[in-house]
Amino acid sequence: MIWTDLRRIIKAGITNFWRTGTVSLSSVFIFTVTLYFLGSLIFLQAVLDYTLTQIKDRVDVNTYFTIATDESKILSIKKKLEALPEVASVNYTSRDEALAQFKKRHENDYLTLQALDELGDNPLGASLNIKAKDPSQYESVVRFLQSDSLGAQSGGLIDKINYNQNKSVIERLSGIINGSKKIGFGVAFALAILSILITFNTIRLVIYVAREEIGIMQLVGANDSYVRGPFIVGGIMYGIFSAIFALILFVPTTIWFGETTTSFFGGINIFDYYMSNFLEIAFILLLSGVLLGAISSVLAVRKYLK
């Protein structure tokens, strides 16, 4: 009995979907636009995450030691830094390596190289390049370098830490990361609310078109679930068809912008990203369409029946 009623409800919902062709088409169009923007938000977040990751990889803190500092002491500090949970990696540059890199950077600057030769000694100290796991953790790493427990600062081992020079960049980057997450959640929430409101009014329009049929069904004793069921099925169909159309539209869109994102954002191709994550994106859009259609239909039908 239950399966028979369910089959009738689904059949009635499909019939109503095709019978109200113009209204169904307009509803599918609105759903498609909504899901298209939702999918675009997924791509935007992917591009933003990739870009921020690239920037994070380029942010670091360099600690320069005095010329008189023994290499063994620097390597001891390096080992202590690597033990910190905030630190991702620590690279050591010796005095000879620093001199070689300096000469390579100024290989076309004859006066600088000549002045360096006249010194007769290597004026550059060794350094440690520190990368934290998160930009917000650099300050704690610097505090560790300056602490008395390490003894580097108080013992006159450290000549300079370039944290203050990079601090504004690090703080700005941390703000961008946190802000982008908040904006992403805010936009997604706003789109969801907008979709429900639009779909709510669309389903009410469909109900208005079929108001006489609903009245007859109620007069002959049809229960509320049988009256509501076909409209809920119709709302779900709006979501399914709209998700399919949105997925199709993303193919030319991602192909068109693929080369642009590759060249502008430094390596990510959104078409390749779309193809490699197609199943996940399709599941998100289908689930979003079905949920929004069903929720909006339930709300609209309940309000009308009251």
Cα–Cα distance measured from residue 60 to residue 135, given in angstroms and rounded to the nearest whole number: 8
pLDDT at 210: 64
pLDDT at 60: 79
Cα–Cα distance measured from residue 206 to residue 297, given in angstroms and rounded to the nearest whole number: 10
Tokens of 23: 């209204």
Cα–Cα distance measured from residue 152 to residue 76, given in angstroms and rounded to the nearest whole number: 10
Cα–Cα distance measured from residue 239 to residue 262, given in angstroms and rounded to the nearest whole number: 32
Helix (H, G, I), strand (E, B) or coil at 133: coil
Cα separation values, 270 from 5, 97, 99, 245, 274, Å:
45, 40, 42, 18, 6
pLDDT at 249: 92
Q: Which parts of the chain have pLDDT scores under 70?
A: 1-24, 56, 113, 148-156, 164-167, 169-171, 173-174, 177, 192, 195, 199, 202-203, 206-207, 209-227, 264-267, 303-306
Q: Is 83 exposed, middle or buried (0-12, 13-18, 19+ CB in 10 A)?
A: exposed
Cα separation values, 267 from 50, 143, 210, Å:
9, 35, 53
pLDDT at 154: 43
pLDDT at 282: 92
Cα separation values, 288 from 29, 179, 192, 242, Å:
15, 24, 9, 10
pLDDT at 248: 93
**8 Å CB contact between 40 and 32:** no
pLDDT at 106: 76
pLDDT at 206: 67
Domains of the chain: 2-55+173-305 (no CATH), 67-156 (3.30.70)
Cβ-based neighbours of 121, under 8 Å, separated by 6 or more: none
